[in-house]
Structure 1
Amino acid sequence: MKITNKLMIVFTVFTILLVGIGIFMNQAYLEKYYIYKNERSFLQFQKDIETVYRDNIDEIDTLITDIDNDEDVKILILDKEMNVLHSSYFKNKLKDIVISKNIQNMIKRYHLWQDNGYMYQVLERNKGLPPKIFFTSTISEDVFLVITKSVKGIQESVAVANEFYLASGFVMIVIGIIAVLYLSRKISDPIIKMNHIARDMRNLKFGEKIEITSNDEIGELAISINLLSDKLSNSIRSLQEDIEERKILVRDISHELKTPIAVIKGYVEGLKYNVAEDEQTKEKYYDVIVDECDRINELVKELLELSILEGVSSELQVLQVPIKNLIHESIEKFQHIADMRSVEIRFTGEEDVLTHVDEHLMERVISNLLSNAIKYANSPGYVKINLKEKNQGCELSVFNTGKNIPEESLEQIFNVFYKVDQVRGRDNEGHGIGLAIVKRIMNMHKGTYSVKNESNGVTFTIWIPNLSSKTNLQA
């Protein structure tokens, strides 16, 4: 069922219920409430009449006449013989007024049983006449006050009120239905639009947006759905890109493993079928197989390291570290390789730079940059490492002499399996993972990394922020 129809049904039922309750309350309680309110009025009349009768009896007729005219009540003042002394009606014919035996008996009973106070009750009447309110009390010794009032007026008021409730209820229903139709359109149209867009989101369509037309809860809901649509769109796009990257990664891993496995298979088959007849040739075969196994092992280790760094549980163990110590350790580690390639390693810069980093991971970054620089430096050539403080952190640059990297490849060089030797035309072997590890570790440190061509070589630069010693960042 549409929300418009639901609102119309709810409003109509609610209006009918209100009208019904109003009619029921009128019918059941209005007359009783009217009688209750009149009791207070009669007591006030009794006090006023008693005061005037005691202090200024000449004004008593005027008073009871005024009360009769204003309040539509009938007032009699009687003596103990039930003779009428004063009346608010038939003023000139007091002797003609006959008090019924029923009222006389009620007054006498009141006089016998109550020394003071009053009697107030509703008297039922015969022949279809409406009930009458009866009030009696004493205003002086052996002088009785009698006040009566018909409830016909209130009965007529109840009937009129019920008719008014029915008429107004009908008008309210008509006006309400028109209002509900208008308001439900105002409310339901945005909801229908949201439902349409939610269905599109379910089908992974995020192009359409909800127009914000109000500042109420529906407007806030529309804003939330638009934001959710944008976030889902970005997340799905990111997921698709990640899936595509994973496909490329699997393809590249397969490619990287294919060559050494093929080489190992070829040499193993050569040994199996006695292609290598002498021991010297066999030793050569064994060396090639071991080298290719080492190559595969190194690739697996680098992939495992990158996978660990990309895991959500990777945390930085931040300590205050002198960066120069990490640089000297890396230089010492790769000095023999540099000597073999006739590459000189130079270190310049500020020696006392201290910063808060993960020592193990930052040593890995420096080692990867230095290893990469030595690998692609001219032979003979040199590698220059420079360290300086910068922007509440430190900047480390590693320059190597040699050929430039094509400009269109500079942004891709930190991607996984993007081989430097393919870009720079070298015969050096590598898996294209080292710089990807640098990228990941620098992102974990909230640092920056870059590469640019120089006139006679290439410079890789990283900026390391000085993390607080209490910081324990989680990637």
Structure 2
Amino acid sequence: MKKKKTLSTQLTFVISFIVLLIVGVFWMANNTLLEKYYVYNKEKEMLAVYKMVDLAAKNDKLSDDTFAVAFEKKCVGANIDAVVFNKYGKVIIEGTTDNQEIFQLLLEASMSSYSADYNNLNMTRQKDKRLGTEYIIINNRLIDGNFVYMKTPLESIKESVSISNRFFAIGTVAAIVVGVFMAYIVARNMTRPIRNMTELSTRMAKLDFDAKYIDTENSAKELYVLGEHMNELSQTLEQTITRLKVANNELQRDIKKKEEIDEMRKEFLSNVSHELKTPLALISGYAEGLKEVVNDDEESRNFYCDVIMDETDKMNRMVMKLLSLNHLEDGSDVLEMTRFDLTPLVRGVIDSSKLLAQKNEAAIEFDRTDSVYVSGDIYKIEEVVTNYISNAINHCTRGGTITVSYSMYSDRVRVSVFNTGEPIPDKDIENIWNKFYKVDKARTREYGGSGIGLSIVKAIMELHHRGYGVINHKDGVEFWFELELFIANNQ
């Protein structure tokens, strides 16, 4: 797309061109006509002096002292050499001419005649070959028979023209600079309201409707009306787009919610069917076996019944956890925030988990006895601690150690549960918080894990708006969560 010039640039160019055109015309006129104009005026001055002398001759006042002073003053002021003399060469009155020239002019003067017509005077141009100077000369007979001789050099005119041209050149440069600058200022001032409206329209195009046109330049009526209409347009567009955004956001929320519900439904059905498939198959198989060995020994019947009851208990616990997680995720489970001592809570969970730890030949270490007051939902935090410790017991190496510890900060406490064992593979770190995700599905099956416990931890901690996570170590894995800490002075 061809690059467009701004309106102020175009106006500056146009005004500058007009200034340059006017200055150029005057420059050409000055160089071609000024000298002619000077010569024309000089001839008029010489004619005026001649008329003055001719009138004095008619009135017989050439010898009058008053006329002599006026005559000399006129000649000096007009830079005219003039002399009036008789036919014998005697000077009657002179302006600035040297007397020695009179005798050289007698022959020429004697050949001149009186002319009553001033337009037909003997006015000529002569050039002094020795000096190379050109003169305007009047050599004429007066009515009383005397002669008048007048001359003025053209060099002074040419010099005046030259000086005038140089001065005009300097003035021209100054006029051009000032003219262009003034053209720029005028164009800028004239187009400032338009530039403001252009900026306003640009911001409107970017949906910035805070921009308003304010007439601070006392603009022309048309520009003022246009600015007001743009303000009205901006307000109307803002209102319309706001309504569209609200409607669009509601639609997006509805679509997203529907997609989430559909995705959760599909995921739930897939995961539940997958998790229930194995226990149902075991229950079905052992139920058939129980039926077949119903008449056999009591020990076999008890074993079959124990397996069926164990699998039923696993399914029941998984369903209860799913219901709990569902309540947490859909927001229907509200936190009951209280201030409680964290240490007895952790100690209670450890005590209730000792039998499971002994079964897995794992030792649980927790050496804190001091009170640590925190803020949270005590029952849900207990569930977080239970899931962490249960998870640590199930993944701890035989004969390994589980360490529960605190890390105290100025405004929070971090609870860490570390178990010795194999670190979690890097590819699984981000997924362990997802529902039904299991790093080691075969081993998880051994202790009845459903892959829901860490998802519950995630949901509870996000409801508390507190941090949680997992850290791999060389000799094991550390799970942690944080709670707001109450300072002892405020207890």
TM-score by length of 1: 0.50
TM-score by length of 2: 0.48
Which structure exhibits the higher relative contact order, with contacts defined as CA atoms closer than 8 Å and separated by 6 or more residues? 1
Which of these two proteins has the greater Rg computed from alpha carbons? 2
